[in-house]
């Protein structure tokens, strides 16, 4: 396999989204990824399956890997896993606290034998503090880091989590991949490996570059005042809607932003994205409304002046946009150098001319499901998109192959498969 990481071996002991997304990114760059699954497979294989042991969620984050399924409760399987780990450059792992050590796959055990090993461990909340060791998924990170509240999306008076993408999971996967590549680079100079730790909680914090920024001279007194009154009110019982109103008394919510939103047109939708006053003035003038708050260079959407201006203009803007088609508005806004664009249904993107022109969809032949389309790598390197060329593996697809690479003989491999130490999909779904 070619790519910047060609020759790098990674053993993936992760499930669901964060870890698998990390190792898929590494696979796209040419690394050889061996995914070690439990006998029934990664749990993500069984959520909304499209075939036995195959699901959209699993397919989406496991392209380019090889799969071996091991019953790690069996000593022979643990020996295989340990040999895989010690033969790798990178181990990615996300077991519950204590499991890796019990299996002989913890960093302390492996690094004694292989000091150049790069060991990347992901957890929900890390290993210190009051949340340490707690189980966790994306929604729990969104909740614990306050992300769900900042979105201010309510359903029956209760905040809803971000559903369009798994924010904490995907950012964690990117941070993991970045850390692994950085450690590999450092190893070329030092010859030593490194222990990397990430968590969904830490990623949820890091992703909120703006809401979790505090200018203490300005923000700390306000924050402490709110928290003191919140604690007092909670002692007497407090519903979320009341707490949100209390917060708004201390922290002014951002007002409606008429210049950064989606509008309905005569035949569809158009998005506008004005992030400076030159662009806002351009949109204002194209639409023919009055708004003096966009003069000059500064703009404060938390101010009462801006709130009132947006409130006064919103109905007129919405009515104006409905007068013309999406294409007509894009032409008019483009002419004024106003950032804008159409709103596409996801179904329109599979064969969209812009997607095709940039080769942004990968088409793979899956051995169980046939042709599968999925987003390609978003990166270009020397004019080409990194592509492992491998579809997501079916459960245990490469078990015998991986064992041969470890030095196991044919008869021994057959015995391990027959005894259930190594599991294959063929054994679980006869005739499939």
pLDDT tens for each residue of 183-207 = 999 999 999 999 999 999 999 999 9
CA distances from 108 to 104, 114, 117, 196, 198 (A): 9, 10, 11, 13, 17
Is CATH 1.10.10.10 what the domain over 260-345 is classified as, yes or no? Answer: no
Q: Compute the mean pLDDT over every residue in the chain, rounded to the nearest whole number.
A: 92
- 270 pLDDT above the threshold of 90: yes
Burial 270-292 (b: 16+ CB within 10 A, else e): bebebeebebbbbbbebbebebe
Q: Which two tokens stand for residue 169?
A: 């999971």
Fold (CATH) for 9-206+359-428: Rossmann fold (3.40.50)
**CA-based torsion, 270, 273, 277, 282: positive or negative:** negative
pLDDT tens for each residue of 329-369 = 999 999 999 999 999 998 999 999 999 999 999 999 999 99
Mean pLDDT along residues 113-126: 96
- Name the DSSP letter for residue 294: G
Look at residue 255 in the predicted model and tell me its pLDDT: 63
Q: How many CB atoms lie within 10 A of CB 114?
A: 16
pLDDT tens for each residue of 102-114 = 999 999 999 999 9
Within the chain, which residue ranges are assigned CATH 3.30.1540.10? Answer: 260-345
Within the chain, which residue ranges are assigned CATH 3.40.50.10540? Answer: 9-206+359-428
Q: Which two tokens stand for residue 105?
A: 């796959």
Residue in 154, 25, 34 with CA at minimum distance from that of residue 396: 34
**CA-based torsion, 340, 346, 349, 351: positive or negative:** negative
């Amino acid at each position: 396999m070619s790519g910047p990481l060609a020759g790098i071996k990674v053993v993936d002991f992760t499930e669901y989204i964060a870890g698998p997304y990390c190792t898929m990114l590494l696979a796209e760059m040419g690394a050889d990824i061996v995914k070690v699954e439990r006998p029934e497979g990664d749990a993500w294989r069984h959520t909304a399956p499209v075939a036995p042991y195959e699901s959209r969620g699993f397919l989406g984050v496991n392209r380019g890997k090889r799969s071996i399924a091991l019953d790690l409760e069996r000593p022979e399987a643990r020996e295989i896993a340990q040999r895989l780990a010690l033969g790798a450059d990178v181990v990615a792992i996300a077991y519950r606290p204590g499991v890796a050590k019990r299996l002989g796959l913890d960093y302390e055990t492996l690094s004694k034998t292989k000091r150049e090993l790069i060991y990347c461990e992901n957890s929900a909340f890390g290993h210190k503090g009051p949340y340490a060791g707690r189980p966790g998924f994306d929604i729990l990170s969104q909740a614990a880091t306050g992300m769900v509240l900042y979105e201010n999306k309510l359903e029956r008076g209760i905040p809803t989590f971000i559903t369009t993408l798994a924010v904490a999971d995907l950012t964690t996967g990117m941070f993991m991949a970045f850390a692994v590549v950085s450690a590999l680079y450092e190893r070329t100079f030092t010859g030593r490996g490194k222990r990397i730790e990430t968590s969904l909680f830490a990623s949820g914090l890091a992703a909120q570059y703006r809401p979790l920024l505090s200018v203490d001279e300005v923000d700390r007194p306000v924050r402490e005042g709110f928290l003191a009154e919140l604690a007092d009110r909670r002692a007497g019982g407090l519903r979320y809607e009341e707490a949100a109103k209390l917060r708004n008394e201390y922290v002014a919510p951002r007002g409606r932003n008429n210049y950064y939103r989606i509008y309905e047109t005569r035949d569809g939708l158009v998005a506008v994205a004005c992030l400076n006053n030159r662009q806002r003035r351009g949109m204002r003038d194209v639409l023919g409304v009055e708004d003096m708050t966009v003069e000059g260079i500064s703009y404060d959407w938390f101010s009462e002046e801006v709130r009132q201006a947006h409130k006064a203009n919103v109905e007129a803007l919405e009515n104006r946009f409905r007068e013309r088609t999406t294409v007509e508005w894009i032409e008019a806004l483009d002419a004024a150098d106003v950032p804008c664009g159409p709103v596409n249904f996801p179904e329109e993107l599979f064969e969209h001319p812009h997607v095709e022109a940039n080769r942004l969809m990968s088409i793979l032949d899956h051995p169980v499901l046939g042709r599968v389309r999925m987003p390609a790598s978003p990166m270009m390197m020397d004019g080409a998109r990194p592509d492992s060329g491998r579809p997501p593996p079916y459960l245990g697809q490469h078990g015998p192959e991986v064992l041969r690479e470890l030095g196991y003989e044919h008869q021994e491999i057959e015995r391990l498969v027959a005894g259930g130490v190594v599991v294959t999909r063929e054994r679980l779904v006869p005739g499939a």
